[in-house]
Structure 1
Amino acid sequence: MKSQFRRLILTATAATALFAGVAHAQVDASKSKVTATSKQMNVPTEGTFKKFTAQLDFDPAKPAAGSAQLTIDTASYDLGDESYNQQVRGKDWFDSAQFPNATFVSSAIAPAGANQFKVSGKLTIKGKSENVTVPVTVTQQGATQTFDGTLPIKRSQFDIGSGEWKDTSVVADEVLIKFHVVEAKK
């Protein structure tokens, strides 16, 4: 009986410690933004993901203890025209019906200079996962931390743009994912 009670207390303590960072900060979605920019016939085209969530646990004094997880609703990608948005949600691009989310889950955070960090982790889009390292700038103003970064990816690694869109001479293979995430500590 004592053994079960101890396990219960240890489990409760571990769960409290795990979620403690989440309870003390909240992402301000109204001030945060995630975009993806590609080039079609060498003309930059930027779209914005209207729906995403982020769970961040980060102390600049202890970066290695931090973590980040970002989940993006692929159907929320907005190019400014509903017919283009519908096409991007389709099988040739994000296939949002089968793969509704793209995710990034950190595995390590390391300092890289003043307010600069390298965040390594797994990026999963359309069921394909790649290990990536994202350079992130963290700024703090009062109780607010802001995380900014740009991650270049190859869309072909994630099967984004298949069929007639596989040709990288029309739509470039490189896509720049940019994020500006604002977190307010409570």
Structure 2
Amino acid sequence: MTLFRFTTFARAVAGAALLAAAPVASFADTLAPGSTVDAVFKQMGVPVTGHFKTFSATLQFDPAHPEKSQARIDVDTNSFDLGEASFNTNARGKDWLDTAAHPKATFVSTSIKSAGPGTFTVAGKLTIRGKTVDTTTTVKFQQNGKQQVFDGTLPINRLTYGVGQGDWADTSVVAADVQLRFHLVTAGK
């Protein structure tokens, strides 16, 4: 039971970080169906994936002038889903995401720069469990008609954000490394 609690929390944290790292489109403040934010981590050496079901974004992205672009992404930590109700409850608890005290994880970009054709480096401040840390990730960009698509992975250390308290601070069961993976599609206009 304890192992499952840790897994749920780690997934939630990873998902929040992942969403926070993505840039978005200037013409659309909403995300289309199919946008995802996942947290991937290892529990006892086995990859585990959790999904954040609820997140919102205030986006302004111009691929011709990325330096003028901005992104703010808010993730509802209560929406973290490991596929099993008891795991989800544990992940929301005080040892993991502590959603009662910290119902949102947030990413606010501080700079967006071109890193080659269709690739951008996004720096910003990621807040999870009330702890704000500077982060950077690489984002792949595609224009699909009126929609813009952003894909990337933001690696974080869960312990930096206080995810996994008490016995869960031991990384022998749940690894400290979490990959926040995102696929964001703007609704377009």
TM-score, normalized by the shorter chain, greater than 0.5 = yes
Work out whether 1:113 is the aligned partner of 2:124.
no
1:72 paired residue among 70, 75, 100 = 75
| TM-score, reference length from structure 1 | 0.86
Q: Which residue of 2 aligns with 1:25?
A: 28
Between Structure 1 and Structure 2, whose CA radius of gyration is higher? 1
Spell out, residue by residue over 1:66-88, the C-alpha distance to the aligned partner (whole angstroms, 9 max, x if none).
00111000111000000000000
- Whole-Å Cα distance in 2 between the matches of residues 180 and 22 of structure 1? 13
RMSD over aligned CA atoms reads: 1.5
Work out whether 1:95 is the aligned partner of 2:98.
yes
Q: Which residue of 1 aligns with 2:156?
A: 153
Q: Which residue of 1 aligns with 2:19?
A: none
Shift of 1:184: 2.9
Asked if the contact 2:55/2:74 (under 8 Å) is kept, the reply is yes
Spell out, residue by residue over 1:131-164, the C-alpha distance to the aligned partner (whole angstroms, 9 max, x if none).
0111101100111100111000000000001111
Shift of 1:185: 2.7
The one-letter amino acid paired with 1:57 is: Q
SS at match of 1:184: coil
The one-letter amino acid paired with 2:64 is: A
Asked if the contact 2:32/2:187 (under 8 Å) is kept, the reply is no
| TM-score, reference length from structure 2 | 0.85
Shift of 1:106: 0.2
Spell out, residue by residue over 1:54-104, the C-alpha distance to the aligned partner (whole angstroms, 9 max, x if none).
121101001000001110001110000000000000000000000000000
**4+ runs deviating over 4 angstroms:** none
Structure possessing the higher relative contact order (Cα contacts under 8 Å, 6 or more residues apart): 2
- Whole-Å Cα distance in 1 between the matches of residues 93 and 164 of structure 2? 10
* Equivalent residue runs for 1:123-134 within 5 Å: 123-134=126-137
Matched positions, count: 166
Asked if the contact 1:22/1:55 (under 8 Å) is kept, the reply is no
Task: Flag the 1:76–1:55 CA change in 2: closer, same or farther, 3 A.
Answer: same
Structure 2 unaligned blocks of 5 or more: 1-23
- Whole-Å Cα distance in 1 between the matches of residues 186 and 26 of structure 2? 12
SS at match of 1:172: strand
SS at match of 2:164: coil
Q: Which residue of 2 aligns with 1:172?
A: 175
Asked if the contact 1:27/1:181 (under 8 Å) is kept, the reply is no
Structure 1 unaligned blocks of 5 or more: 1-20
